[in-house]
Amino acid sequence: MNILSKIDPLELRQALGNFGTGVTIVSTRAADGCPVGVTVNSFNSVSLDPPIVLWSLNKTSPSLAAFEQAGRFVIQVLAIDQIDLSRRFASRTPEKFGGVHHRCGLGGLPVIEGCTAAFECLTLEQRTVGDHILFLGHIEAFDQRHGASLLYCQGRYARGVSLETSAT
């Protein structure tokens, strides 16, 4: 049992990792025009009406300035065949968008092709919470396509296997 005063950060991270998620790339465009993107699984829906989502970015991220400056972002939900993209955008590779098919979305932001869903958002609010910056975004446009989404649980990429015959 971990009590509050003795929390082991590694064990905490491992315990939190039991909560399975999808995998997204959050993108924007930097002031110099370069596309910017980061692999993120802190994405979640907050409100349907109005449509609001959230995600958080480590304060130390070199991509932070671009998200702050642009005031908008795109959440791309990755498909099962996009593990390589997830790895690439989780790395410090300088040219993450090199060879990545994308179109120009609202505000000129890059929207990566082949994802199961994309949500184009205007930043509603941005707030420092601990060692991360929390972003709340208003969805201005979205699209989706059929296909399995990539999952992430217990530190590993995974594929979802349905336990029911119809959606609940």
Contact residues: ligand FMN, CB under 6 A: 23, 38-42, 56-58, 61-63, 90-92, 152
Nearer to ligand FMN, 41 or 76 (CB): 41
| CB 85, CB 79: distance < 8 Å | no
Q: Are 110 and 90 in contact (CB under 8 A)?
A: no
Structure tokens at 45: 């829906």
Quick one: 49 or 131, whose CB is closer to ligand FMN?
131
User: Closest distance between ligand FMN and the C-beta of residue 121, in Å?
Assistant: 15
CB closer to ligand FMN, 5 vs 119: 119
Q: Which is nearer to ligand FMN, 6 or 92 (CB)?
A: 92
Closest approach of ligand FMN to the CB of residue 26, in Å: 8
Structure token digits, residue 146: 């059929």
| Residue 50 CB, nearest approach to ligand FMN (Å) | 23
Widest Cα–Cα separation across the chain: 49
CB of 93 to ligand FMN, least distance (A): 9
Query: CB of 152: closest distance to ligand FMN in angstroms?
Result: 4
Quick one: tokens of 12?
A: 């905490």
Q: Are 123 and 136 in contact (CB under 8 A)?
A: yes
Angle at 94 between CA 37 and CA 24, to 5 degrees: 20
CB 28 within 8 A of CB 76: no
Instruction: Decide whether 6 or 9 has the Cβ nearer to ligand FMN.
Output: 9
Distance in angstroms (rounded) separating the CA atoms of residues 59 and 61: 6
